[in-house]
Amino acid sequence: MTKLSLGTAPYLLGFEQLERLLERNAKSGNEGYPPFNIEQTSENSYRITLAVAGFSPRDLAITIEDRQLVIRGRQHDDSEGRVFLHRGIAARQFQRSFVLADGVDVGEAVMENGLLHVDLTRAEPDTVVQTIQIRKG
């Protein structure tokens, strides 16, 4: 039995990049930290909310890399000179990636009560009908 992929389907032309994005996303192995929500706030806008309690805005970085929204967190260790009898709150780092479709733009990011909100907007698609002329050979 052969594997049918987007790149080999006879009627799907030019979807190789989409297939690469799907494979990369499947391999990314986001382990579940930090937890997040994705909500649709209007017909053409979305909001990603990450629970980042203990992180300050300077501990977080938001970038767009190859049509992926990448959110990284790295807390600075401020435990020097402190003696912990119990340490249950670990300073851990994370990286979360979200694949963005063409036409989706990242808006503002807001930190509020330990939650990081990142707003996304999708441009209205243009409905275009194009007629191709046939030339005699």
- Which residue ranges make up each domain of the chain? 1-30, 31-122
Identify the CA nearest to 96 among candidates 70, 59, 116. Answer: 70
For residue 32, give both structure tokens. 């579940």
The predicted structure's pLDDT at residue 16:
73
Cross-sheet strand order for the sheet of 60-65: 60-65, 68-73, 94-99
The predicted structure's pLDDT at residue 137:
75
The predicted structure's pLDDT at residue 67:
84
Decide which of 58 and 88 is more confident: 58
Q: Which fold has domain 31-122?
A: Immunoglobulin-like (2.60.40)
For residue 11, give both structure tokens. 């009627």
Peptide bond before 125: cis, by omega within 30 degrees of 0? no
Q: What is the pLDDT of residues 59-109, one digit of tens each?
A: 999 999 988 899 999 987 777 888 989 988 777 899 999 989 888 999 999
The predicted structure's pLDDT at residue 8:
64
pTM of the model: 0.73
The predicted structure's pLDDT at residue 26:
64
Residues in a beta bridge with 61 = 72
